[in-house]
Amino acid sequence: MTRRTPTTPGLRAWAELLRLPALFTVPGDALAGAAAVAARPSSRTLLAIGASLCLYEAGMALNDWADRDEDAAERPHRPLPSGRIRPTAALTAACVGTAAGLALAHRAGRPALAVAAPLAATVWAYDLGLKHTPAGPAAMAAARGLDLLLGAAATTGRIRPALRPATLLSGHTLAVTTVSRHETRGGSTLAPLTALAATGAVTSRLLSVGATTASTPATRTARPRTRPTAKDALRAALAAVYATTATRGYAHAALNPSPPLTQRAVGGGIRATIPLQAALSARSGTPVPALLTAALAPIAATFAKKVSVT
């Protein structure tokens, strides 16, 4: 008979602390950023993805470290209040993840580091102070937008063409974060209703005519289209998946703002990040990164059945 190894509970606890399923929402930021500047993903894009993953997980560990007293009262099953992970270990993980993320961004070049540094500062400011203030959702939205710009900066050194997709991604994140502020207590109908409106606005921009924005001399002059292309169909399909994934939970939470339904709405909003990133890549006229990003959704869904995304 084989004994269970004592490391298994520890691995499970770390997967919960770092919200493992949410990790799959990160690579699409850099890919969408690279697509926005009309560039193929390169080794520097991979470095940006690595930096984003490290900074994201550092934020997750720091989040639970900062909220350990609050979680002890409201979510005692979380890894820190339950005693499965020590607070000092979580704080150490946050510091190591931040250092590793900045180091990878430095390897990707000065423009990437110039974006990664304020991204890291935003993450720490959010977890240590801004989270429980009115500025909290805006800070989280800024962090997600900066993450997309990190991919653009690392790939080509330019970020200006990526500002519009970064704004759309930030708008979605702002909506999700606003709803998440009520996930333990519920009671808010306005937050999910506002999130529904924001999702509709983002979807409208994804579907807008002439959205493809490859900023190269050959594509700066818009050409009139008489019939939809395969890229248009892909963009529309991904936009529909995004809208469906996000709005279902928001609608249920608006009708019944209980904590369980609000938590489901937050989970749906987080999962919707992946098809949104894919739609942004398709919107920029790069179907391969869009399909690669979309392929992460079923993987995230599989892990979400075992580990909570919130």
Token pair of 126 as six digits: 């959010």
pTM of the full predicted structure? 0.90
pLDDT value, residue 186: 78
Q: Residue 184 in contact with residue 74, Cβ under 8 Å?
A: yes
Residue 8: the pLDDT is 46
Burial (Cβ within 10 Å: 0-12, 13-18, ≥19) of residue 7: exposed
Cα separation of 15 and 22, whole Å? 10
Instruction: Identify the residue whose tokens are 């333990």.
Output: 184
| Residues in the chain, total | 310
Burial class (CB within 10 angstroms; exposed 0-12, middle 13-18, buried 19+) of 222: exposed
Tokens 């949104």 belong to residue:
276
Of the candidates 305, 255, 298, the one whose C-alpha atom is nearest the C-alpha of residue 275 is: 298
Structure tokens at 195: 């999130």
CA-to-CA distance for 24 and 206, rounded, in angstroms? 21
Give the Cα separation of 168 and 186 in Å (integer): 26
Strands (DSSP E) found in 128-240: none
Instruction: Check residue 88 and give its pLDDT.
Output: 97
Q: Which residues of the chain have pLDDT under 50?
A: 1-8, 211-222
Strand, coil or helix: 148: helix
